[in-house]
Copies of this chain bind each other. A is one copy, B any other.
Amino acid sequence: MGITPTRIAIDAMGGDYAPSQIVEGAIQAQETHGVKVLLVGDPQKIKACINHKSNQPLPEIVPAEEIVEMHEEPLTAIRRKSKASINVAMNLVKQKEADAVVSAGHSGAAMASALLRLGRLSGIDRPAIGAVLPTMVPKKPVLILDVGANVDCRPKFLEQFAVMGTIYSEYVLGTTEPKVGLLNIGEEPSKGNDLSVRTHQILQENNQIKFIGNAEGRDVLSGSFDVIVCDGFAGNVLLKFAEAVGDAVLQMMKEELTPGLSGKIGTAILRPNLKRMKQRIDHVEHGGGLLLGVGGICIISHGSSKAIAISNAIRSARDAVENKVIERINSNYVPENHKSIVSNQ
């Protein structure tokens, strides 16, 4: 959009492989995704990671003196360490010096920092974390939210997740009239726990979304749904299970397909096919979680993110910024515009 590239602030100090893989991913993204990255953290340590990339334009470094460690209680750490890299990154968005934040550090701390510094959007009671998973239908991912921000939910929270998810799916994932499902244990409206029965009714009455009914566990990856809403407990269990299953399948392929001479020959012949399958399964290919409902774009990547995952997360952040996700969610900002988008559903 426009003349200046989208500016993404990266918490260079957060994540299992920080800062080296974070820096490498940021540089990759700057080269391939047309963004300007701002690396936030210890300048010495960041510079040590980029010395060898001297023929590329160096990313800008924004100094931050502190780090929120993984064991820290998020809210306390965020309040106490005002100069922590995640806080400095969020401040860049708040001060309009960056358009989005990407962090692979302490996810609770990133959420707390976003809430305190960027605030909630009007009309949103609880921000949610959305995760994009591949489905059985190629190039047709499903957005699941919430995957961990809110363990105990009320029906109206899930309704807000559905509206935010619809906007993200439409404008960032490129879905036409996203089909929304409610995670549940049966197809009928009467099925499920207290939360899901009450939410089903509310979603049916909401004309901002295209609610097509309950989504059972077996439907999540079917490609029949574009957005699936659930409380953060079920969503988190599902997401972590899905990621682990992906890893498990990849490991199982290694264990079961390669033994023996025929295994070695067969897998050698199949290498490109196996690689394509790995790409479909591997969650690293699919960027990070999106914090929806706060006053800025914030991508929360896995702690285990390596360069490629960081680069993909930066691309997602860019897409969300350039497609004005925040403005669209913030119904006080463009209420008429948003209403016209969904009025014919």
Using CB atoms and an 8 Å cutoff, list the residues of chain A in contact with chain B.
136, 148, 151-152, 183, 185, 192-194, 196, 216-222, 230-234, 236-245, 248-249, 251-253, 256-260, 262-263, 265-267, 269-270, 272-274, 276-277, 280-281
CA distance A340 to B136 in the complex (A): 50
A216 to chain B, nearest CB (A): 5
A232 touches B273 (CB 8 A): no
Query: Which label, helix, strand, loop or mixed, suits the secondary structure of the A interface?
Result: helix
Q: Which residues of B contact A216 (CB under 8 A)?
A: 236-237, 240
Stoichiometry, as copies per complex, reads: 2
For A278, give the chain B residue with the smallest CB separation. B256
A240 touches B259 (CB 8 A): no
Q: Which residues of B contact A183 (CB under 8 A)?
A: 237
CA distance A265 to B272 in the complex (A): 13
Q: Which residues of B contact A231 (CB under 8 A)?
A: 193
CA distance A193 to B273 in the complex (A): 42
Q: Which residues of B contact A239 (CB under 8 A)?
A: 217
Q: Which residues of B contact A262 (CB under 8 A)?
A: 269-270, 272-273
CA distance A229 to B123 in the complex (A): 36
For A232, give the chain B residue with the smallest CB separation. B185
Which 4 A/B pairs are nearest by Cβ-Cβ distance? Answer: A217-B240, A217-B241, A266-B270, A266-B269
A257 touches B237 (CB 8 A): no
A148 touches B185 (CB 8 A): yes
